[in-house]
Structure 1
């Protein structure tokens, strides 16, 4: 056990010698004082105090007065109040002043030890238990990754890995992070091979998982409630791990009824996957049926300007009844305020779609802004930033109002992102697209092992901008770079969050159905 220092303030400290000897034998260092003034002086002079035991009734200044002065200077220092007085108002005042625990005199050594375990050793014990549990499951996950999984089993593996990632983060089990990171990389390598082997047959034979183009028909429309308004919230770029961070906040007002998934189509980018969601069609079908609404990568103009039109057409084809619905896209703070102001009006609809672009903007801003690279330097920080944004957002305010009015809520996304770490060289002509995780172009030169290449785009139901166009999709954590200015862009983009390619994080997307509490 690391050295733990206790400050114990009690005017009858001489009567506590058995407890003090017990603690010292257990390896704790105990500093004793007989009044509040001396306790405050010790707190001022020493930075190594880990916990304070504070008698409530002492001459001079009381334990409660001492407590408030300690907290004013060292807010996070754990304080245990020890009292003969079981009066409710004393306990309420102590709890209100943020005591960590309290004990009623006379205290026996085992009570003290249990309190210390809870306060000081709790994090260490959780960390050690979490690390031990992950070590035990590590081999099981490894065997499953290499056992020829189907698309449902890959979802289970991804969820397991994310669950461990969050547990290890929360317990600060830093010793296990590298091992889990390596296992996640192994999983993405195997998943990339799985997608390479199966993706085109899923598109051809329609025998794979529910994908972007079937999301609304399969997962949302059949579960709409005729007695209550339904909201579909699509958070652009929302990964499963970010959803796990947001779910406890949602659960304050909503109950999770069903946590499901779908697979994003390739490319895992807004232009392709989100248009497919709202059109209920693959990109080449959108181009065929709605040629004036579809734009290829290098065409001028916005690529997602007709989502409302696509949704109108899809509802008309699929539901075939009078459905009152609306579509709201939020891309800036003014839109967010308008949504919050108008949410009750939207609840007059049967169905309201809210597309919220914050997480997408966050990932792009993070690439551009050094300060955000610091704030969201890795997955843990990225999750934390997402949670902090949502907790304080106008969106969450609007959704609370919706819950109070009985609205059913679906939360989903169009694709996720992956933190890219490994550059892969590509050579193409000047019309080749600039995306880091996928490219469309003629006469592309690339490392075959780094990509899934689709030489005939119609096999993936993708448009063909040119008769000789090829699509390539980066596997795992690769990102595409041209040879010119290679080192500059290599350093600029490494460890940024990107999308468009093949990874568990980009392809396996949450779709969650919730009811108001």
Structure 2
């Protein structure tokens, strides 16, 4: 069936060759030489797009444009004009035209504009599918040949790129193929981490890890004559960063996008304390025996981040810099930081920790409405972007840009969408996290976890002589046999962290310069 186009131009007779060209390309073009008659036709016809001349006797194109939008707000309109004055373009663009062409136009220009408006989703889908099909084999080969942490960083970035490229396509089978390839990658990544994690903690051949990232990535940007804003968004995965990146681009230019690896467990208590202290968990426990709390100790496990940060800065020779630390747990305090930002702008380092995405992931588990909103990674990214777009944090970013502050944006770990339960038996002192367990008498499926018997050799606190840690692989979550079915149904298809996956462990560190 031909696609119906309405073309309004007082010199319509001169456009007959254009009309014939479009008919050969599958478009049925109805030609009208004045806007008044066109407005009578539009309510009763199903046009896919309107082409309209800006300069016509009687009712001009801009006036007609407004009236057409009142009748059919979603109808795409292409403005065609001889006038290149900026105010004409701005008025047309402000009226939400679909495209703007300068006369004289040739038939191919018209065709390209219509394809862009009407067929772009189809063309983008077809192109994306073909490109991913070509890339599929290359990624598979990369996975087979991956030898080090840099290889796995690059593989993960490629998979996220294609995840975002295919996010809105209509080819569901291709999306399933990508999901399967990502699952295969996580299975191989787990084996890679299991083989190499110990060496990362004891040799020089290692990625930047939670306890070294401040020294390696933050310290080079700090000085007496500089003002830096460090934003840590808890649970921010790389794909979520790529989704909100355009919002930052309004105010900042990307200087550098780096990745680092979360330590194990890839959980806030361990990874974020390691970030701010510059120490591994057992080292924190030794240096701060009264501040470190183990899994089953009562109290907030991350309440001394400010003190850990101050101690690390002194050890790094940065003790003379002025610092300010905030942890945002609700929108009221977020608004307070925005309102009082002028008081902090002259600090050498301002640190803001945001727990929103962590709260969101827990809400996915505990809140039925949020659970329906966040059905998969795509909707998780969308919800993250919607929050950030309307947050006070984005306004804080704008204020920081106005003050010429550099921004360092990062996280402590990511999360993974868990689907498969694996049964674990432990005593009453076993930790409760779904992606890792710490306890004495753990019974588990060896194929589902990375197990550590000698906690001290991995710089993890040893609560008693027989304590061991296990970390879930891929998209597995650890469930107790008691009330097993209820437990599984409650936590299946939720976001969890603490285990071994690319999403949890390979995380972004972004450097941004004000525009």
TM over 0.5, shorter chain: yes
Cα deviation digits, residues 94-130 of structure 1 (max 9, x gap)? 3332222244566543332222222222332222222
Matched, 1:128 2:126: yes
**Paired position in structure 2 for 1:436:** 434
**Paired position in structure 2 for 1:30:** 29
**Paired position in structure 1 for 2:291:** 293
**Paired position in structure 2 for 1:114:** 112
Comparing 69-78 and 467-476, the one that deviates more: 69-78
Candidates 291, 301, 308, aligned match of 2:306: 308
Q: Tell me, in whole angstroms, the C-alpha distance in 1 between the residues paired with 2:41 and 2:487.
A: 54
Q: How far is the alpha carbon of 1:37 from its aligned partner?
A: 5.2
Q: Tell me, in whole angstroms, the C-alpha distance in 1 between the residues paired with 2:196 and 2:252.
A: 37
Candidates 227, 230, 249, aligned match of 1:229: 227
Q: Tell me, in whole angstroms, the C-alpha distance in 2 between the residues paired with 1:86 and 1:451.
A: 66
Are 1:130 and 1:173, in contact at CA under 8 Å, matched by a contact in 2? no
Are 1:229 and 1:347, in contact at CA under 8 Å, matched by a contact in 2? yes
- 2:66 is paired with a residue of what secondary structure? helix
Cα deviation digits, residues 325-345 of structure 1 (max 9, x gap)? 121111111210121122222
Comparing 55-64 and 273-282, the one that deviates more: 55-64
**Paired position in structure 1 for 2:399:** 401
Q: How far is the alpha carbon of 1:411 from its aligned partner?
A: 0.9
Cα deviation digits, residues 163-214 of structure 1 (max 9, x gap)? 1111222556545211111111111111000001111222233532121111
Are 1:231 and 1:408, in contact at CA under 8 Å, matched by a contact in 2? yes
Cα deviation digits, residues 40-94 of structure 1 (max 9, x gap)? 4554334x53211234466775443332122234333211134566666554433
List runs of 5+ in structure 2 lacking aligned partners.
Answer: none
User: For residues 33 and 175 of structure 1, do their structure 2 counterparts lie closer, same or farther at Cα, with a shift above 3 Å needed?
Assistant: farther
User: For residues 345 and 467 of structure 1, do their structure 2 counterparts lie closer, same or farther at Cα, with a shift above 3 Å needed?
Assistant: same
What does 1:491-506 correspond to in 2, within 5 Å? 491-506=489-504
Q: Tell me, in whole angstroms, the C-alpha distance in 2 between the residues paired with 1:270 and 1:152.
A: 24
- 1:146 is paired with a residue of what secondary structure? helix
- 1:286 is paired with a residue of what secondary structure? helix
Q: Tell me, in whole angstroms, the C-alpha distance in 2 between the residues paired with 1:423 and 1:452.
A: 15
List runs of 5+ in structure 1 lacking aligned partners.
Answer: none
Candidates 130, 150, 153, aligned match of 1:152: 150
User: For residues 103 and 215 of structure 1, do their structure 2 counterparts lie closer, same or farther at Cα, with a shift above 3 Å needed?
Assistant: closer
User: For residues 40 and 491 of structure 1, do their structure 2 counterparts lie closer, same or farther at Cα, with a shift above 3 Å needed?
Assistant: farther
What does 1:351-390 correspond to in 2, within 5 Å? 351-390=349-388
Are 1:196 and 1:452, in contact at CA under 8 Å, matched by a contact in 2? yes
Give TM-score, length-normalised by structure 1. Answer: 0.93
User: For residues 254 and 80 of structure 1, do their structure 2 counterparts lie closer, same or farther at Cα, with a shift above 3 Å needed?
Assistant: closer
**Paired position in structure 1 for 2:159:** 161
**Paired position in structure 1 for 2:43:** 44
Comparing 368-377 and 13-22, the one that deviates more: 13-22
- 1:218 is paired with a residue of what secondary structure? helix
Q: Tell me, in whole angstroms, the C-alpha distance in 2 between the residues paired with 1:41 and 1:422.
A: 60
Q: Tell me, in whole angstroms, the C-alpha distance in 2 between the residues paired with 1:320 and 1:228.
A: 13
Give TM-score, length-normalised by structure 2. Answer: 0.93
User: For residues 87 and 358 of structure 1, do their structure 2 counterparts lie closer, same or farther at Cα, with a shift above 3 Å needed?
Assistant: closer
Cα deviation digits, residues 313-354 of structure 1 (max 9, x gap)? 112222164222121111111210121122222222222221
- 1:505 is paired with a residue of what secondary structure? helix
- 2:212 is paired with a residue of what secondary structure? helix
Candidates 58, 64, 70, aligned match of 2:68: 70
Q: Tell me, in whole angstroms, the C-alpha distance in 2 between the residues paired with 1:345 and 1:333.
A: 19
User: For residues 42 and 445 of structure 1, do their structure 2 counterparts lie closer, same or farther at Cα, with a shift above 3 Å needed?
Assistant: farther
**Paired position in structure 2 for 1:462:** 460
What does 1:232-251 correspond to in 2, within 5 Å? 232-251=230-249
Are 1:229 and 1:348, in contact at CA under 8 Å, matched by a contact in 2? yes
- 2:202 is paired with a residue of what secondary structure? helix
Please, what is the CA RMSD of the aligned residues? 2.4
Q: How far is the alpha carbon of 1:248 from its aligned partner?
A: 2.2
**Paired position in structure 2 for 1:20:** 19
Are 1:10 and 1:33, in contact at CA under 8 Å, matched by a contact in 2? yes
Q: Tell me, in whole angstroms, the C-alpha distance in 1 between the residues paired with 2:414 and 2:200.
A: 20
Comparing 262-271 and 394-403, the one that deviates more: 394-403
Matched, 1:417 2:443: no
Q: How far is the alpha carbon of 1:31 from its aligned partner?
A: 4.2
Number of residue pairs the alignment of both structures matches: 515
Are 1:228 and 1:406, in contact at CA under 8 Å, matched by a contact in 2? no
User: For residues 147 and 20 of structure 1, do their structure 2 counterparts lie closer, same or farther at Cα, with a shift above 3 Å needed?
Assistant: same
User: For residues 11 and 256 of structure 1, do their structure 2 counterparts lie closer, same or farther at Cα, with a shift above 3 Å needed?
Assistant: closer
Are 2:471 and 2:498, in contact at CA under 8 Å, matched by a contact in 1? yes
User: For residues 103 and 278 of structure 1, do their structure 2 counterparts lie closer, same or farther at Cα, with a shift above 3 Å needed?
Assistant: closer
Q: Tell me, in whole angstroms, the C-alpha distance in 1 between the residues paired with 2:475 and 2:24.
A: 52
Q: Tell me, in whole angstroms, the C-alpha distance in 2 between the residues paired with 1:207 and 1:82.
A: 61
Q: Tell me, in whole angstroms, the C-alpha distance in 1 between the residues paired with 2:89 and 2:217.
A: 51
Q: How far is the alpha carbon of 1:379 from its aligned partner?
A: 1.6
Q: Tell me, in whole angstroms, the C-alpha distance in 2 between the residues paired with 1:204 and 1:85.
A: 69
Cα deviation digits, residues 451-487 of structure 1 (max 9, x gap)? 1011222122111223322211110111112233333
Are 2:146 and 2:152, in contact at CA under 8 Å, matched by a contact in 1? no
Q: Tell me, in whole angstroms, the C-alpha distance in 2 between the residues paired with 1:3 and 1:438.
A: 59
What does 1:173-188 correspond to in 2, within 5 Å? 174-188=172-186
Q: Tell me, in whole angstroms, the C-alpha distance in 1 between the residues paired with 2:27 and 2:413.
A: 51
